[in-house]
């Protein structure tokens, strides 16, 4: 048996690991590499293996850095099954099409520059039609149901508590060459305990080979409970000032968590039931629809909450408004009374959030609430840094609104949560590979695992293969 690491090693994007066993090639994840436009294009366009020779793809979850190159895989000759949970399949139907749209935009940008330099034009690595075509290959499997991906290779998904449908992938393999039974566990992205909506990450008892993510292998988060209290305070203080809370948020995951938190706060009377909350993003509205379709992925707390208030919908309450059309969205520009407006994109780089920021950043009664990590050079980062002027649609605006940050909503386990999860293996894996983390984070987690008695802990290089 051999495993090759073709992405998300010593970095956090482009997850793809190729397993070669019993003459079958099984790909774990097929993510997009997300870096500068130029580097991303080079890395994503050419797959580092022959797609036609891959027999099956096992997908941990729908985030684009794990799923985003699937349309290119199919376009390049892949003919197998794409096996994932039901919710992951449904989220991919939304996210792969969105990814095709973003790419088209990026390619147009690159090509405008190339025209000026007289260079040949680039093709997108896949189109909207390719994204739709790839959906035919998906097979949904419920959590904790064993499924034979290839003869002698069974997959079982366990809840990873990261986003809706996210899974820890357990492969039980009969290796014919060495006549051994091997259990390979791929953590996918691991969530945190006690997050809203989702269950806690499942502890796995046994593994021979472990692939574990390390996004926060060297860092700790704020407690999740503190996040809800902070949200309550920010909303109430802004409401008292007669201001608006403007929240740039990722359409999938973060938006639904915020809505659910606000629903809880309204029900408990901790924020006013008269305060309107708007989700102004067609993508977030579609994603919320998918969250509603998958109660099998909710934790018990959601059902207890719904029982207690009889609302039947975690993502709906009296003053909750979803604005899909452009006309509805534009009406929000004329809103004079207090409100919470949640909109995409999460780093305020594109989308409707730009209109809300433009209209509201100069009023000191308002609050811009940042609920996720903001990459350098994004508008979101400039706001977190409280720069006095920000540029939106090419114009300068004074940043006079309050800026608040909630860090406790991370969808990734922190260092102690990763080590705690790994400590639950009753039998330590014989081989461990650290993936999905910046180099420092991966090495820090590797050291932590070695201290817990893990042997043969490796931080692979891009393209490196190991024979087991």
Under the rule (CB under 5 A), what is the footprint of Zn ion?
63, 189
Q: Which of 400, 283, 260 is nearest to 350 (CA)?
A: 283
In the complex with Zn ion, the residue whose CB is nearer, 66 or 356, is 66
DSSP 297: G
Following DSSP, what letter does each residue of 299-327 receive, concatenated? -HHHHHHHHHH----TT--TTEEE--SHH
Tokens of 431: 């081989």
In the complex with Zn ion, the residue whose CB is nearer, 99 or 359, is 99
In the complex with Zn ion, the residue whose CB is nearer, 34 or 323, is 34
* In the block, residue with structure tokens 């850095």: 65
In the complex with Zn ion, the residue whose CB is nearer, 10 or 63, is 63
Residue 165 beta carbon to Zn ion: minimum distance, rounded to whole angstroms: 11
Tokens of 126: 């896949």
Residue 180 β-bridge partners: 175
Residue 346 beta carbon to Zn ion: minimum distance, rounded to whole angstroms: 13
Residue 61 beta carbon to Zn ion: minimum distance, rounded to whole angstroms: 6
SS3 content of the chain, % helix, strand, coil (to 5): 35, 20, 40
**Alpha helices by DSSP H, 83-151:** 86-117, 128-134
In the complex with Zn ion, the residue whose CB is nearer, 88 or 238, is 88
- φ/ψ of 76, rounded to 5, equals -85, 10
Q: Which residues contact 443 (CB under 8 A, 6 or more apart)?
A: 217, 434, 459
**Alpha helices by DSSP H, 221-281:** 224-240, 254-267
Residue 269 beta carbon to Zn ion: minimum distance, rounded to whole angstroms: 34
Residue 164 beta carbon to Zn ion: minimum distance, rounded to whole angstroms: 11
Beta strands in 124-281 (DSSP E): 138-140, 147-150, 153-159, 167-175, 180-186, 209-213, 244-248, 277-279
Residue 310 beta carbon to Zn ion: minimum distance, rounded to whole angstroms: 33
- The DSSP bridge pattern shows strands 180-186 and 389-392 to be unpaired
In the complex with Zn ion, the residue whose CB is nearer, 12 or 153, is 12
Residue 356 beta carbon to Zn ion: minimum distance, rounded to whole angstroms: 26
In the complex with Zn ion, the residue whose CB is nearer, 215 or 281, is 215
- The DSSP bridge pattern shows strands 81-84 and 389-392 to be unpaired
In the complex with Zn ion, the residue whose CB is nearer, 41 or 250, is 250
Residue 192 beta carbon to Zn ion: minimum distance, rounded to whole angstroms: 12
């Amino acid at each position: 048996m051999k495993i090759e690491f073709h992405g998300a090693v010593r970095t956090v994007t482009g997850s793809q690991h190729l397993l070669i066993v019993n003459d079958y090639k099984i790909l774990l994840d097929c993510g997009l590499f997300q870096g500068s436009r130029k580097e991303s294009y080079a890395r994503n366009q050419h797959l580092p293996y022959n797609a036609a020779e891959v027999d099956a793809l096992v997908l941990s979850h729908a985030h684009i850095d794990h799923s985003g190159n699937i349309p290119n895989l199919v376009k390049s000759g892949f003919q197998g099954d794409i096996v994932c949970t039901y919710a992951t399949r449904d989220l991919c139907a939304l996210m792969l099409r969105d990814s095709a749209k973003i790419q088209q935009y990026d390619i147009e940008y690159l090509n405008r520059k190339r025209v000026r330099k007289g260079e040949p034009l680039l093709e997108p690595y896949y189109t909207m039609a390719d994204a739709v075509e790839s959906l035919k290959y998906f097979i949904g499997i419920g959590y904790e149901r064993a499924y034979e991906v290839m003869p002698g290779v069974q997959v079982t998904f366990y809840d990873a508590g990261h986003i809706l449908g996210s899974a820890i992938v357990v492969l039980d393999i009969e290796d014919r060459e060495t006549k051994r039974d091997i259990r390979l566990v791929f953590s996918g992205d691991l969530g945190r305990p006690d997050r809203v909506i989702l269950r806690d990450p499942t502890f796995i008892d046994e593994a021979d080979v472990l692939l574990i993510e390390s996004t926060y292998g060297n860092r700790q988060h704020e407690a999740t409970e503190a996040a809800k209290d902070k949200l309550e305070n920010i909303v109430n203080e802004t409401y008292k000032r007669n201001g608006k809370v403007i929240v740039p948020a990722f359409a999938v995951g973060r938006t639904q968590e915020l809505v659910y938190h606000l629903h809880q706060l309204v029900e408990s009377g901790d924020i006013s039931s008269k305060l309107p909350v708007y989700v102004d993003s067609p993508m977030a509205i579609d994603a919320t629809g998918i969250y509603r379709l998958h109660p099998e992925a909710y934790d018990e707390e959601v059902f207890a909450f719904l029982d207690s208030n009889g609302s039947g919908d975690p993502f709906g309450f009296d003053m909750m408004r979803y604005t899909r059309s452009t006309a509805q969205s534009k009406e929000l520009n004329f809103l004079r009374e207090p409100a919470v407006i949640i909109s995409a994109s999460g780093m305020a780089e594109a989308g409707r959030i730009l209109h809300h920021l433009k209209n509201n950043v100069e009023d000191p009664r308002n609050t811009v609430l940042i609920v996720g990590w903001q990459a350098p050079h994004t508008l979101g980062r400039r706001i977190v840094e409280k720069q006095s002027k920000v540029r939106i649609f090419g114009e300068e605006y004074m940043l006079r609104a309050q800026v608040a940050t909630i860090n406790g909503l991370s969808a990734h386990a922190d260092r102690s949560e990763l080590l705690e999860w790994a400590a639950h293996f009753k039998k330590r894996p014989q081989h461990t590979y650290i993936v999905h983390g910046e180099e420092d984070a991966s090495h820090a987690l590797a050291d932590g695992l070695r201290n817990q008695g893990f042997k043969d802990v490796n931080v692979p290089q891009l393209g490196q293969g190991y024979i087991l």
